[in-house]
Amino acid sequence: MNITGKTKILGILGYPVNHTISPPMHNAVIKMLGLDIVYLPFEVKPSNLQHAVNGIRGLGILGINITIPHKETVVKFLDKISEEVKLIGAVNTIVNKDGCLIGHNTDGYGYITSLKEELNFSAKGKKIVILGAGGAARGILTALAVKKPEAIIVANRTIARAVSVVKIFKEKFPNIKFEAVYIDEDMLKAYFQYADLIVNTTSVGMKKKGILKTPLEALPKTAIVSDIIYNPLETPLLERAKKLGLITHGGLGMLIHQGAKSFKLWTGIDAPTKVMRKAALKAVKSGGGK
């Protein structure tokens, strides 16, 4: 790659940021399209986030992805946010439009597109349990809610956070039954036995660290167990679900499709998702994102 003073910069802010495989995924697309752009990872401590955001303007960076733990905090440092972000309260994509920083969230789009593409799943009339109540959970919750499921249960270790999320979404989607519960095996059994879809949005299981204790045995055999973690491709949760004969869905597709939408917001160009998938798979299998 020939980098000059005219080369535009894209990137990702996170702390830590060494888990991400977004750089090889986006740079593969940039190379294939012959664009004078480079995508870089930036490790930014929470205390330096505002300085980093101001740097996007100062350095003329074209656009940035936002990952943990900055998705919610970054909102207050932006000039504008999309209607979706107003509901979700979290940003994963920043577009720099002539110095005006606009926040978007493509997580929900990426998730629902992946679920439809891989399993032809429709959320309409379904009962769904979401594990976690952070920025990624709210993005996914929004994308699922617009498809008119019957019920969405938000389970979180901090019950107050789940209650807060449910309150917001009850007002926005009054025809859907929402409930907030604590992540507890015994408590979840009552909800799992009727569930069509379980979604893990927590970081438990990333790089196979930690095991999310859930009563998967209580699920109907037709239920889908979904995990948005993409490293490893098959998390301990998915391994366990597969042994029980349940349908599983990993997080790589979400990463690819949210990335493709971010790329379109930055450049106006449709990203070839096949190229993204090939590069992402290669990065994960070669130990990228460690």
- Give CA separation, 168 vs 132, 222, 282, in Å: 15, 30, 39
Name the helix (H) or strand (E) containing 40. Answer: strand 37-43
Q: How many CB atoms are closer than 10 A to CB 97?
A: 12
Contact 118, 97 (CB under 8 A): no
| Run of H or E including 38 | strand 37-43
CA dihedral 170→171→172→178, nearest 10 degrees, is 0
Of 6, 31, 71, 172, catalytic: 71
Give the C-alpha separation, 23 to 61, whole Å.
15
Residue 71 annotated in active site:
yes
| Beta-bridge partner residues of 155 | 131, 181
Residues tagged active-site: 71
